[in-house]
Amino acid sequence: MEGSHQLPTSKPLPVLPAVEAAKRLAAFAAVDRHVGLKHKIIGIGSGSTVPYVVDRIVAQGAQANLGRVFVPTGFQSKELIIKAGLVLGDVDQYPKLDVTIDGADEVDDQLNSIKGGGACQLREKVLAEAAETWVIVADYRKNSKLLGTNWTQGIPIEVAPFAYAKVLTNLADMGSPATLPSGKPGLTLRMGKMKAGPVVSDNGMFIIDAPFPPELMAKPEELLHKIKMLTGVVEVGLFCNMARAAYFGNEASRHTHTHSLSHEPAVDKTNADADTDAVQDGTVSIRNNDGSVEQLQSVPDVPVVA
């Protein structure tokens, strides 16, 4: 692609706090690998990493985005698409997507994830299933071996408002505790922080946060099916066997640069049992659905679109 269609190299990326720089790094790497010129229908997910996904897509240039349509998972991503000057679509118009890039609240070592901290899990799952390729972007804090390790608030469950009390009872019977071992609240109806009453999703539903003990979280697909079968449940924030890859930006130390114009290739760790503990060295950790793990040492400031 001609340089006139890219952001100029003379315009440096703004310096960000360490965690934000990690999010940007992961988002840029994911877009570079999974959003090419052939991809025309693109799902844009939710969360704090997703604005950097949109930034990178815009940086691909006007010519690359000509003829593309962007489908949001919720209000946040819709606003990002509109403000970026990209073409907005909806999943009822485009039931098949080329690629969707989304955030996550936590991802385990099998690429199962918890989503719904922002109460968008229904549309997020629809767009994930509609996409030929679904990719997760996050920072190192979301990277864990077992779901529920870092994200302790519980599985977000979207429920019909009139059924929430019954579903709370059902979930308690399944083993979701009212109080966590730490003493913090466990199973609960999510309440608004700046509003009197419960959180209401974009679909007019309530959200229940349901933590479960490690022995149940170790089998997320089985747990997903049991919760989904409860009458009154609209969607469950467990995403199992769906992701093509997960990109984790690793926070750099004071002596590590988080961006470089270098085009060094990723180093592939082909051992499926490679250590997936979060590192904090300014690289991008990539976990693929074939079990391979990579470390990407750098991301160019200017995207190369193919």
Q: Give residue 183's pLDDT.
A: 92
| More confident site: 285 or 9 | 285
The strand pair at 131-139 and 97-102 is best described as parallel
Q: What is the mean pLDDT of residues 150-176?
A: 97
Q: Look at residue 48 and tell me if it is in a domain.
A: yes
Number of domains in the chain: 2
Does residue 209 sit in the same domain as residue 279? no
pLDDT tens figures, 69-104:
999 999 999 999 999 999 999 999 999 999 999 999
Q: Look at residue 280 and tell me if it is in a domain.
A: yes
Output the domain CATH number for residue 184: 3.30.70.260
Does residue 182 sit in the same domain as residue 214? yes
Does residue 208 sit in the same domain as residue 280? no
Flag whether pLDDT at 114 surpasses 60: yes
Q: Which of 213, 237, 261 is the last residue of a domain?
A: 237
Does residue 167 sit in the same domain as residue 257? no
Q: Which of 182, 205, 237 is the last residue of a domain?
A: 237
Does residue 192 sit in the same domain as residue 252? no
Model confidence at 282, in pLDDT bands (50, 70, 90)?
low
Q: Look at residue 306 and tell me if it is in a domain.
A: no
Average pLDDT of the chain to the nearest whole number: 87
Q: Look at residue 159 and tell me if it is in a domain.
A: yes
Does residue 208 sit in the same domain as residue 179? yes
Q: Look at residue 149 and tell me if it is in a domain.
A: no
Tokens describing residue 63:
């010519």
Does residue 233 sit in the same domain as residue 162? yes
> In whole angstroms, what is the distance from residue 83 CA to residue 76 CA?
11
Q: Look at residue 6 and tell me if it is in a domain.
A: no
Active site residue 79: no
Q: Which of 211, 237, 263 is the last residue of a domain?
A: 237
Does residue 231 sit in the same domain as residue 265? no
Does residue 271 sit in the same domain as residue 253? yes
Does residue 122 sit in the same domain as residue 179? no
CB–CB of 176/212 below 8 Å? yes
> In whole angstroms, what is the distance from residue 112 CA to residue 100 CA?
16
pLDDT tens figures, 237-261:
999 999 999 999 987 654 333 344 3
CB–CB of 21/255 below 8 Å? no
Output the domain CATH number for residue 21: 3.40.50.1360
Does residue 233 sit in the same domain as residue 248? no
Structural domain of 199: 155-237
Q: Look at residue 90 and tell me if it is in a domain.
A: yes
Model confidence at 278, in pLDDT bands (50, 70, 90)?
very low
Q: Look at residue 2 and tell me if it is in a domain.
A: no
Round the CA-based radius of gyration of the chain to a whole number and report it.
19
| More confident site: 5 or 107 | 107
Number of Cβ within a 10 Å radius of residue 62: 11
Flag whether pLDDT at 281 surpasses 80: no
Does residue 113 sit in the same domain as residue 54? yes
Which member of 106, 124, 158, 235 is catalytic? 124
Rounded to two decimals, the pTM is 0.86
Q: If you search the block for the tokens 């959003």, which residue do you land on?
A: 35
